[in-house]
Amino acid sequence: MTRPPSDRANKRWIKPLPKQLINKIAAGEVVERPASVLKELVENSIDAGSERIEIIIEKSGAKLIKIVDDGCGIDEEQIEVAFARHATSKISSFDDIHNLLSYGFRGEALPSIASVSRLRMVSRPHDAQSGTEIIFEGGVIQHRKPIAAPVGTSIEVENLFYNTPARRKFLKAESTEARHIARVATALAIGRPDIGFTFTLNGRKVFSRPPGESLAERVAGVLGDRNKKFVVVAGHIGPVAVAGLVSTPQSVQQSRSGQFLFINNRYISSPTLSHAFNAGYGELLPRGQHPVGALLLSVDPTEVDVNVHPAKTEVRLSREREIHDAVCRIVKDALRHDGIIPSIRTAAPDRVPGEPPVRETRSGSSSGGERHTIPGIGRQPVNTHLLSELYRSVPAAGGPAKTDDIIEVDKRTGEIITVETAAPSASPTGPPTGFRFIGRFADMYLLLQTGDDLYVVDQHTAHERVLYEEILEKIERHVLEGQRLLFPVQVELTPEQMVVFEESNALLNSSGFQVGPFGGRMVNIEAVPVVLAKKSAEKVLLKVLDDIASLRKTGHDLKKAMAQAMACRSAVMAGDRLDDREAVHLVERLLRSDNAYSCPHGRPTFIKLSRADLDRQFGRG
């Protein structure tokens, strides 16, 4: 029994998709953003054997991405084939994927890019008398003709995503896309120091590096500044050989944006290897900070699978754990050999007559006659008055406490006297007024007592909270004062820092800074905010830019990011000893803050230890 014709007409038939639609779908994976186009085209230029590559970007890639190289070029009869899907000169069989040495191999980039832009390519091989020009618009060839051209290839991508409005709509802000482009261009230049790179972004030449540089010269040229010190990393353990340069613990950032990882010269993204990079620093790295530098790993190509994603930034490693541990060990050894990790030796303590010698061990446990010493602690005369001093009665705090009280200090006793002004907030409970300042610990923590409670205040986070609210208010009112420098200071920024600077330049100059472009990636500092005037102007600007970049990635408002960065850099640090009046004044200002319980980054400003807590610790509960 046959079905009616009407049913056959409504049936969903399986049929091949049109070529242009296939390429647009593929572009969704290959061409994620303008930085993806840049990466694919420059990698093609590297595979072509180029000695010099020029990158020109306008309007952060949305308007123009232009790559010019002096590579082998494409023959006239091959230039149209290059835009056919899955057409490539880099592999010829499946086995080639397991021993891949080229950057590209899938044959998807050019047709995908051409399908979502207006693309013009001019190419000339070294043995040809003229070049060939070919133009695509939305994946459709418009014309092809001979043209006078130098040896190599020039490719221009204009109006990216003009025919895919949904994809264009989801592009980030121009400054964000510029940061991604700057990072990719920097990575490509670091990965191949033998090739000359020139990078121009929105009319500004970001860097220009000659061919034939050493890795150290290239890293210092695109990442470093005059005061940044790098440590050379080199080693071979198990399945991996590592070469590179990493920053000292003093030159770190709050984000991983300064880290560049390569496998067999291919720029990659790997959480595992990034963790190994950081782990090599161990406890030298402050919490939440990340080192800067580049690590180039050499691994047997058969141990690496690069055919994971069309973007080719993700890879799989057959011996990932071994490679992680090897990278961590090599970085750690490089830092130790450079003298960054100190080996502490302590003098033996004085020996009591008749007592056997003390043997120091590096082990965490002791056995036999071995005894352990703590560096800096020797035998001290016994203070017979110590216990009586500890148990000396402490004057009781007077009256119920209020967190919003105005505080006055009794100059004779050092106690804090309260003047009631407002009702206390319900929660959380902070150190009440009417407390007594009893001292400090490690030049970092302020100790306050009230009744049977002990409050420990972190002087850095407390000062940071106070300064943050004060600076943010002044930024909002445009009254933040600046301190002019006796002599202007010039600073060289990294490509990503330059993008952040251009985004925040207006706010910087309304927040106490006077800073402007000085040519290339150099900026000129003429004034800094008064709260930062005692610090190095160059270091202050670099740290503030890094902080802003990190905070902006987490969605912070630019003004709040600026206030946080300035407060963090100007607050008292561990080791900055406050006298009693300064310590009391800091606590007074903290208690008047809108949020006295945490710093702008969310860390607590104080902790409370009750008498009951201490009793439990000593088994008295």
Q: Which residue in 173, 150, 157 sits closest to 55, CA to CA? A: 157
Q: Are residue 474 and residue 327 in the same domain, yes or no?
A: no
Q: Are residues 113 and 258 in the same domain?
A: no
Q: Is residue 7 part of a domain?
A: no
588 and 549 fall within a common domain: yes
Burial class (CB in 10 A: 0-12, 13-18, 19+), 303: middle
Hunting for tokens 């049109």 — which residue is that?
A: 18
Domain boundary among the residues 337, 358, 374 is at 337
Q: What is the mean pLDDT of residues 561-568?
A: 87
Q: Is 386 exposed, middle or buried (0-12, 13-18, 19+ CB in 10 A)?
A: exposed
CA–CA gap between residue 143 and residue 148 (Å, rounded)? 16
Residue 361 lies in a domain: no
Sequence-ordered list of residues with C-beta below 8 angstroms from that of 523, at least 6 positions apart, any chain: 490, 491, 493, 501, 515, 516, 517, 541
Which tokens belong to 501? 């600077």
How many residues in the chain? 621
Tokens of 591: 């208690």
Q: Is the domain of 590 the same as that of 490?
A: yes
To the nearest whole number, what is the mean pLDDT of the chain?
78
Q: Which of residues 209, 231, 258 is at a domain's end?
A: 209
Mean pLDDT of 600-621: 83
DSSP state letters, 247-290? E-TTSEESSGGGEEEEETTEEE--HHHHHHHHHTTGGGSPTT-E
- Structure tokens, 528: 């800094």
437 or 417: which leads in pLDDT: 437
> Does residue 350 belong to any structural domain of this protein?
no
In a shared domain, residues 194 and 228? no
Which of 337, 360, 389 finishes a domain?
A: 337
200 within some domain = yes
Residue 393 inside a domain? The answer is: no
Report the domain count for the chain: 3
Quick: pLDDT tens for 42-65: 999 998 899 999 999 999 898 999
Closest to 43 in 3D by CA, of 100, 99, 84: 100
Q: Are residues 531 and 594 in the same domain?
A: yes
Of 25-29, 218-222, 235-239, 398-402, the poorest mean pLDDT is in 398-402
- The CATH number covering residue 470 comes to 3.30.1540.20
What are the CA-CA distances from residue 68 to residues 35, 197, 370, 513 (Å)? 16, 10, 69, 38
Together in a domain, 293 and 241? yes
Kindly indicate the confidence band of residue 384, based on its pLDDT and cuts at 50, 70 and 90.
very low
Higher per-residue confidence, 156 vs 360: 156
One domain, residues 155 and 254: no
User: Among 217-221, 548-552, 563-567, whose mean pLDDT is lowest?
Assistant: 548-552
If you average pLDDT over residues 350-376, what whole number do you get? Answer: 37
Task: Map 534-598 to HEC letters.
Answer: CCCHHHHHHHHHHHHHHHHHCCCCHHHHHHHHHHHHHCCCCCCCCCHHHHHHHHHHHHCCCCCCE
Neighbours of 346 (CB within 10 A): 12
- Within 10 angstroms of residue 272's Cβ, the number of other Cβ atoms is 14
Task: Write down the pLDDT at residue 101.
Answer: 61
Same domain, 291 and 428: no
Are 463 and 569 in a shared domain?
yes
86 plus 181 within the same structural domain? yes
For residue 523, name the pLDDT band (cuts at 50, 70, 90): very high
Residues 234 and 185 placed together within one structural domain of the fold: no
Residue 430 sits at φ, ψ, to 5 deg, of -105, 180
Residues 6+ apart with CB under 8 A from 302: 98, 99
Q: Domain with 27 in it: what CATH number?
A: 3.30.565.10
Least confident span in 85-89, 408-412, 581-585: 408-412
In a domain, 370, yes or no: no
Range of the domain at 113: 19-209
Looking at the predicted structure, is the pLDDT value of residue 495 above 60?
Answer: yes
300-357, pLDDT tens digit by residue? 888 887 756 555 567 788 899 999 999 999 998 998 876 665 433 333 334 444 444 4
Quick check: is 347 in a domain?
Answer: no
The answer as to whether 385 is a domain residue is no
Q: What is the CATH number of the domain that holds 239?
A: 3.30.230.10
Phi then psi for residue 143, to 5 deg, are -165, 165
